[in-house]
Chain A
Amino acid sequence: MAAILEVNHLSIAFGGLHAVDEFSIAIEKGELYGLIGPNGAGKTTVFNLLTGVYKPNEGIIRLDGKDITGRKTRDINKEGIARTFQNIRLFHQLSVLDNVKVGLHNHYSYLTLEGILHLGRYRRTEKRMDDEAMDLLRVFDLDQEALVTAANLPYGKQRKLEIARALATRPKLLLLDEPAAGMNPNETAELMDTIRFVRNKFDITILLIEHDMKLVSGICERLTVLNFGRILAQGETSQVLHDPEVIKAYLGE
């Protein structure tokens, strides 16, 4: 099978701190992959490297065979990587529907002048954007709240909206940064179903960071464990979770 994401020897240092060191990973198309590790292990830094927020000191990132190392964040999104954030970053003054429509931004277009005059392709395009956005919201059970201001959504739904917005950019690879953070067990269980459903429905690959071991062992097929910026273990989920090194890193000796 072809790897959708292939990362080789990725490193970045901030001053003397090797935040991520020699990170390599190959994720296959359609896989649900987990990235775990103790706090400060460099998981989010890996996400920031993959999405171009930081430029790596060394290493190569290939998406679907194409070298995207050092590209701009927005270009990487256009190539097909979308992400969510650990601390939710919604467009909080916009409606739920508009949040998703902004995600669709690069897939529809009309001239600024058409937008100002509300003429030409404006109405047709906005209608089609509304339809696609509503379809996405329905997947996340947010369609009832489409016109609510994003800031007024309950926490769990804000997390879901962020995933919906990321999916609206039609990515090949979706990066989820702690999607279950702050959720209760019921919400987490529901989220697991949603993630699986999303992977199958949209035919995408998902890489997620998570601390909730129930979620990780429940849905991730393979795992990479980071500790102090280095890879501690990599492989099938059940194997990795029983690795004594991993247990030591998490629980201490």
Chain B
Amino acid sequence: MKNKKLMGNLITYGLVIVAYAIVAYLLHAGRLTSLVKGLLVPICVYVILAVSLNLVVGISGELSLGHAGFMCVGAFSGAFFSKCLQDTLSFAPLRLALAIAVGAVVAAVFGLLIGIPVLRLKGDYLAIVTLAFGEIIKNVMNIFYIGLDSNGFHFSVKDQFSMGMEPGGEILVSGPMGITGTPKDASFLAGIILILITLFVVLHLIDSRDGRAIMAIRDNRIAADSIGLNITHYKLMAFTVSAALTGAAGSLYAHNLATLQAKKFDYNFSILALVFVVLGGIGNIRGSVIAAVVLTVLPELLRGMANYRMLIYSIILILMMLFNWAPRFLEWRERHLGRLFRKNRKEE
């Protein structure tokens, strides 16, 4: 099974790399419409979001509806960082890498601070509180004004005039208008690399001493306690790592937008991420990747059908849910696709 697990991981990485190769080829050949080109980075962002949320929902077994909040802080801190260093650091890839690291670290700090009180709750209660924290983060970000002039930084939570800036100073963060003019450093390649890093972190974490503890606590909290596991520690670890990865995705997202506004990261965003995780299969990392891609591309492809778009989209959601969760379908999969697995096992 050790080999099978490794095989599974390699297939997941391979899938991402093959997808990259195909898209890169199509890009090179000029076969992609501008609509699809515009979707490439967001797809990467959603994939990372889905995988990192699956770490909390599937691996740690806790329902979080606040991931939009972590994405929001990641996006704002990353974009803020890049805007400040725009002139001093002109090498875009390095600037992006640093901005992503900043987004991840800031989101991790938020994850830790929120996780400490919140992870005492379980199930629905935890979901409600994380949802609330996500909204709080969004609303706080929505009123922040930060400006820079020769005297240094100015802050306000009221409006841009109350910062008392000199004329000619630059407004970096402008409340509900957010951050404009972040350097557009994000690229499809950067997205793919970040996906691979995310997969590496999550898949390896699962396959380590800490990951085993996290899953053991998910499976049976009382038994985990009785064999001496520190439950809070491992719940927090999963939550913080997940928040960090989500923050990294947020930072990448910010570097693909002309204007970054906090209102984008509302609870619908968190629900969307949860839809990816549930329909891809809870605890199934590869499933999250596929679901995020399919469910991001699909609504765009259906754009031509105008009125029927959302109808078809929802039917596909239902079909995916049946395919992954209905006992009959699972049986069918076992019977027809199981044969393939059995063959694989013999070859090992």
Q: Footprint of B on A, CB under 8 Å?
A: 51, 53, 73-75, 77-78, 82-83, 85, 89-95, 98-99, 101-103, 105-106, 108-110, 112, 115-118, 122, 125-126, 129, 147, 165-166, 168-169
**In the assembled complex, how far is the CB of residue B329 from the closest CB belonging to chain A, in whole angstroms?**
20
Q: Given A74-B229, A83-B226, A165-B227, decide whether A115 and B208 contact each other with a Cβ distance below 8 A.
A: yes
13 contacts between A and B (CB under 8 A): A51-B226, A89-B226, A92-B220, A94-B215, A98-B215, A102-B227, A105-B213, A115-B209, A118-B204, A118-B208, A125-B209, A169-B227, A169-B228
Q: Measured between C-beta atoms, what is the minimum distance from A227 to chain B in Å?
A: 26
How far, in angstroms, from A78 to B201 measured CA to CA in the complex? 30
Q: Which B residues lie within 8 Å of A168 (CB)?
A: 227
CB distance from A50 to the nearest CB of B (A): 11
Pick the contact of A166: B200, B219, B227 (CB < 8 A): B227
Instruction: Please indicate the chain B residues that have their CB under 8 angstroms from the CB of A108 in the complex.
Output: 209
Are B228 and A116 closer than 8 Å at their CB atoms?
no
B223 CB-CB contact with A under 8 Å: yes
Count of chain A to chain B residue pairs whose CB atoms are closer than 8 Å in the complex: 100
- Min C-beta distance of B230 to chain A, whole Å: 6
Q: Which of A75, A91, A98, A116 is in CB contact (< 8 Å) with B223?
A: A91
Which B residue sits closest to A112, measured CB to CB? B210
List of A residues within 8 angstroms of B220 by Cβ? 89-92
Q: How would you classify the secondary structure of chain B's contact residues: helix, strand, loop or mixed?
A: helix
CB pair A102–B226 under 8 Å, yes or no, is no
11 additional A-B pairs beyond A77-B226, A92-B220, beta carbons within 8 Å, are A77-B227, A85-B222, A89-B220, A91-B216, A93-B218, A112-B237, A116-B208, A147-B1, A166-B226, A166-B227, A168-B227
Known: A95-B1, A116-B205, A118-B204. Is A105-B227 also a contact (CB below 8 A)?
A: yes
Total residues of chain B contacting the partner, CB 8 A: 29
Per-residue CB contact flags for chain B residues 213-241 toward chain A (1 = under 8 Å, else 0) read 10110111011111111110000010000
What chain B residues lie within 8 Å of A125 (beta carbons)? 209
The interface residues of chain B lying within 8 Å CB-to-CB of A93 are 215, 218-219, 283
